Amino acid sequence: RLVDAGFVDTFRVFDESPERYSWWSQRSGARARNVGWRLDYFFVNAGFQSRISGAEIHADVMGSDHCPVSIEVA
């Protein structure tokens, strides 16, 4: 696991909500019901973590079964 190797899940630094997903099956309206998985990540090493000033999952952006994820680097 990346976390066990010393990497940091940047999104979880800013948001610990359990139901934040970046992928939803296109079958049976999973996205509308927010039944998904979190498949898209930004991991950084612990030494770089202090440079991350924000992280977001853009669930409102449509066009794919995945949504964009982003980080802000200061």
Residues 46-57 have pLDDT tens digits of: 999 999 999 999
SS3 1: coil
- Rounded to an integer, the average pLDDT of 4-31 is 96
Q: What percentage of the chain has pLDDT greater than the value 70?
A: 100
SS3 51: helix
- Rounded to an integer, the average pLDDT of 27-37 is 94
What global pTM score does this model have? 0.90
Report residue 70's pLDDT band, with 50, 70 and 90 as the boundaries. Answer: very high
| Per-residue pLDDT at 36 | 97
